[in-house]
């Protein structure tokens, strides 16, 4: 061995290497030189200016969060604290049909700009992903970012909030914008078919756009059209899009919403198996909680009542005739929503005009206000101009476990990365923002033994890297980018709860991003070593 071969910038000594392949862990030293892993093995004779004593700890590839919305917070929260503290070193953004980089300063995007307004961020990138990610690069980011192009935002750019199919000219304009996004380096094409305006599209529109994405080798990630009563049809639609466009499919945050739909995931997983047997590359992701969180109107307001956006919705909800019609439609679909019990399970998360409502159930608010819970929901939508989210405790723990056990399920937080300080800490976020990955390792590996440790780590690293076609990350091996997460398998655990979400987890000890220590003994160092990863058609990752 030459002398040079014994010198590293960083050595992680004596840890248990869980390498991200799903294989058996082994004890070894890991040597990092510059931004790469230079050696794995017995490095007793080697030295480095920086050494992490990792005996008793697991040394894994940095976690890849396959499903996030952190493009929303990157410009005001470059530290991405809630993600980094979970051991996440790469975040896939632009999910569910929403991409901040495609937003412009036109009036139609007033809703999206409300995410940024409290932090004084103005939309200066003119809806061009390349310019948005240039800005992100200038400000820095603690984790790497994998961008996607998003259908909902694209459609809104071209068609506004109109509930109809596109004209041929509009469709080709959307395809043009897709091509531009490909040039800007996106890895995936996402839809949010339950959200307006994604919900206004028919399957054919998505197929025509997915064909463009497929031509350039992107994958298709989808928030299904329905995760409740029509879950099975919605999965069928996703599989059809995959087959007809010839594109790899990722089912986002898979779940069956509402007690009467619990257990349907057995059926949908079987559909995934059948589609794979026929040659379609379909996989899925999940966050390990039995509650979800989204906009309050999602799954409540009939689709037609959302047309035109927030102003039009508020007009309808304050028009007595239309309001009655909307209520009648909702109750016809969900007779049980006339009873108070359901509304105990719907809890207001972020309500910027009514901060005192945050954390209260609709039932509780209805009692305080002396009105029917559904009336109360409609009132709050008007008061908040529809910019209000709610957690819904309507999933089943058994389903969570069924989906998590499935070999092709990877882990995705669905979070907008946040931090426990300043304005960010006033929002009542879902605990998944802070707890997703540690919760899988603590609760589902150590406590419930639902997964083995190598299996769980594979779902967080090797599997998502394979899905993305990220060749230089996701597996700990010589030559890979030095993204490394070191955790204590005996203590790793989420602490965030719905009541107190802004809590960092326990047991994530060190996070290394591109060879730089970004988290040290559980505390962020402030390093902004992440990159925006730009996909090249040759499928190797370069950075801006
Ligand atoms: Zn979603
Ligand atoms: Cu999402």
Burial class (CB in 10 A: 0-12, 13-18, 19+), 417: buried
Nearest partner of 533 among 485, 475, 481, judged by Cα: 481
Ligand 1 centre and the CA of 95: distance in Å?
Answer: 7
Ligand 1 centre and the CA of 253: distance in Å?
Answer: 7
Q: Which residues surround ligand 1, an ion (CB under 5 A)?
A: 96, 223
The token pair that represents 481 in the structure block: 């980018």
- 8 A C-beta contact, residue 205 and residue 235: no
Q: How far apart are CA 433 and CA 389, in angstroms?
A: 15
pLDDT for the residue numbered 540: 45
Ligand 2 centre and the CA of 97: distance in Å?
Answer: 8
pLDDT for the residue numbered 223: 98
Q: Which residues surround ligand 2, an ion (CB under 5 A)?
A: 95-96, 414
Ligand 1 centre and the CA of 192: distance in Å?
Answer: 6
Per-residue CA distances from 351 to 113, 114, 237, 525 (Å): 16, 12, 34, 32
Q: How far apart are CA 110 and CA 100, in angstroms?
A: 12
Ligand 1 centre and the CA of 283: distance in Å?
Answer: 15
Mean pLDDT for 338-362 is 96
- pLDDT-based confidence at 178, cuts 50/70/90? very high
Q: State percent of the chain over pLDDT 70.
A: 98
Ligand 2 centre and the CA of 391: distance in Å?
Answer: 14
| DSSP symbol at 451 | S
**DSSP state string for 323-355:** HHHHHHHHHHH-GGGGSSGGGGGEEEEEETT-G
Mean pLDDT for 408-432 is 97
Mean pLDDT for 47-62 is 98
Ligand 1 centre and the CA of 362: distance in Å?
Answer: 22
Predicted confidence (pLDDT) at residue 542 exceeds the cutoff of 50: no
**3-class secondary-structure state, position 433:** helix
Ligand 1 centre and the CA of 527: distance in Å?
Answer: 30
pLDDT for the residue numbered 412: 98
Predicted confidence (pLDDT) at residue 98 exceeds the cutoff of 70: yes
Ligand 1 centre and the CA of 352: distance in Å?
Answer: 21
- pLDDT-based confidence at 537, cuts 50/70/90? low
pLDDT for the residue numbered 2: 53
Give the number of whichever ligand sits closest to the CA of residue 430: 2
Count CB neighbours of 214 within 10 A: 20
pLDDT for the residue numbered 4: 63
For 138-148, the pLDDT digits (tens) are: 999 999 999 99
pLDDT for the residue numbered 198: 98
- pLDDT-based confidence at 200, cuts 50/70/90? very high
Ligand 1 centre and the CA of 252: distance in Å?
Answer: 7
Ligand 1 centre and the CA of 505: distance in Å?
Answer: 24
Give the number of whichever ligand sits closest to the CA of residue 148: 2
Give the number of whichever ligand sits closest to the CA of residue 191: 1
- pLDDT-based confidence at 5, cuts 50/70/90? confident
Ligand 1 centre and the CA of 223: distance in Å?
Answer: 5
Nearest partner of 323 among 376, 251, 247, judged by Cα: 376
Q: How far apart are CA 13 and CA 25, in angstroms?
A: 15
Ligand 2 centre and the CA of 414: distance in Å?
Answer: 5
Ligand 2 centre and the CA of 283: distance in Å?
Answer: 16
Ligand 1 centre and the CA of 464: distance in Å?
Answer: 17
- pLDDT-based confidence at 543, cuts 50/70/90? very low
Mean pLDDT for 121-135 is 98
Ligand 1 centre and the CA of 191: distance in Å?
Answer: 9
For 150-167, the pLDDT digits (tens) are: 999 999 999 999 999 999
Ligand 1 centre and the CA of 215: distance in Å?
Answer: 25
Ligand 2 centre and the CA of 411: distance in Å?
Answer: 12
The token pair that represents 314 in the structure block: 């508020």
Nearest partner of 175 among 157, 193, 196, judged by Cα: 157
Virtual CA dihedral for 335, 338, 341, 342, nearest 10 degrees? Answer: 60
Helix axes 231-245, 203-215, angle to 10 degrees: 40
Give the number of whichever ligand sits closest to the CA of residue 225: 1
2 vs 135, which has greater pLDDT?
135
Q: How far apart are CA 307 and CA 314, in angstroms?
A: 11
- pLDDT-based confidence at 91, cuts 50/70/90? very high
**3-class secondary-structure state, position 436:** helix
Sheet hosting strand 388-392, strand order edge to edge: 292-295, 388-392, 346-351
For 12-48, the pLDDT digits (tens) are: 999 999 999 999 999 999 999 999 999 999 999 999 9
pTM to 2 decimal places: 0.97
pLDDT for the residue numbered 541: 46
Ligand 2 centre and the CA of 417: distance in Å?
Answer: 12
Ligand 1 centre and the CA of 195: distance in Å?
Answer: 9
Count CB neighbours of 243 within 10 A: 16
Mean pLDDT for 222-227 is 98
For 61-73, the pLDDT digits (tens) are: 999 999 999 999 9
For 470-488, the pLDDT digits (tens) are: 999 999 999 999 999 999 9
- 8 A C-beta contact, residue 428 and residue 379: no
Give the number of whichever ligand sits closest to the CA of residue 94: 2
Ligand 2 centre and the CA of 221: distance in Å?
Answer: 10
CA dihedral sign of residues 331, 334, 335, 336: negative
Mean pLDDT for 445-449 is 98
Nearest partner of 92 among 3, 189, 170, 183, judged by Cα: 189
Virtual CA dihedral for 357, 359, 74, 404, nearest 10 degrees? Answer: -150
Predicted confidence (pLDDT) at residue 365 exceeds the cutoff of 70: yes
Helix axes 264-277, 231-245, angle to 10 degrees: 10
Please provide the average confidence, as pLDDT, over all residues in the chain.
96
Ligand 2 centre and the CA of 415: distance in Å?
Answer: 7
């Amino acid at each position: 061995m030459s002398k040079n071969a014994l010198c590293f910038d960083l050595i992680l000594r004596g840890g248990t290497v869980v390498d991200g392949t799903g294989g058996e862990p082994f004890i070894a030293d890991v040597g990092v030189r510059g931004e790469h892993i230079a050696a794995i093995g017995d490095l007793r004779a080697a030295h480095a200016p920086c050494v992490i004593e990792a005996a008793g700890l697991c040394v894994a590839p940095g976690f890849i969060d396959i499903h996030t919305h952190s493009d929303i917070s990157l410009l005001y929260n470059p530290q991405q604290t809630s993600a980094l503290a979970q051991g996440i070193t790469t975040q896939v953004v632009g999910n569910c049909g929403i991409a901040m980089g495609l937003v412009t300063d036109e009036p139609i995007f007033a809703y999206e700009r409300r995410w940024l307004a409290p932090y004084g961020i103005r939309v200066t990138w003119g809806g061009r992903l390349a310019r948005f990610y240039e800005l992100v690069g200038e400000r820095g980011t603690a984790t790497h970012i994998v961008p996607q192009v998003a259908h909902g935002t694209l459609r809104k750019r071209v068609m506004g909030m109109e509930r109809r199919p596109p004209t041929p000219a509009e469709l080709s304009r959307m395809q043009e914008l897709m091509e531009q996004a490909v040039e800007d380096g996106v890895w995936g094409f996402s839809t949010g078919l339950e959200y307006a305006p994604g919900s206004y599209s028919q399957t054919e529109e998505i197929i025509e756009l997915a064909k463009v994405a497929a031509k350039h080798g992107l994958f298709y990630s989808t928030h299904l059209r329905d995760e409740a009563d029509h879950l099975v049809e919605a999965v069928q639609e996703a599989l059809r899009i995959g087959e007809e466009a010839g594109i790899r499919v990722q089912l986002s945050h898979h779940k069956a919403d509402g007690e009467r739909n619990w257990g349907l995931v057995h059926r949908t997983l079987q559909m995934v198996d059948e589609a794979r047997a026929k040659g379609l590359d379909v996989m899925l992701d999940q966050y390990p909680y039995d509650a979800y969180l989204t906009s309050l109107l999602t799954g409540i307001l009939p689709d037609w009542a959302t047309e035109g956006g927030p102003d039009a919705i508020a007009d309808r909800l304050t028009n007595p005739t239309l309001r009655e019609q909307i209520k009648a439609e909702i109750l016809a679909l969900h007779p049980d929503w006339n009873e108070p019990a359901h509304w105990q399970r719907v809890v207001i998360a972020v309500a910027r005009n009514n901060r005192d409502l945050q954390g209260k159930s609709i039932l509780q608010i209805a009692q305080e206000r002396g009105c029917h819970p559904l009336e109360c929901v409609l009132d709050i939508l008007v008061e908040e101009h529809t910019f209000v989210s709610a957690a819904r405790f309507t999933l089943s723990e058994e389903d969570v476990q069924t989906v998590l056990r499935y070999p092709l399920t990877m882990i995705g937080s669905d979070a907008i990365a946040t931090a426990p300080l300043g304005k960010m800490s006033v929002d009542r976020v879902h605990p998944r923002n802070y707890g997703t990955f540690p919760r899988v390792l603590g609760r589902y590996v150590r406590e419930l033994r639902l997964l083995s440790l190598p299996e769980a780590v594979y779902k967080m690293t090797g599997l998502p890297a394979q899905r993305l076609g990220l060749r230089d990350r996701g597996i700990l091996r010589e030559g890979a980018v030095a993204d490394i997460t070191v955790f204590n398998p005996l203590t790793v655990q989420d602490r965030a709860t719905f009541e107190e979400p802004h809590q960092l987890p326990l047991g994530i000890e060190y996070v290394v991003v591109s060879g730089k220590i970004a988290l040290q003994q559980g505390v962020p160092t402030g390093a902004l070593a992440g990159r925006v990863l730009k996909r090249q058609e040759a499928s190797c990752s370069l950075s801006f």
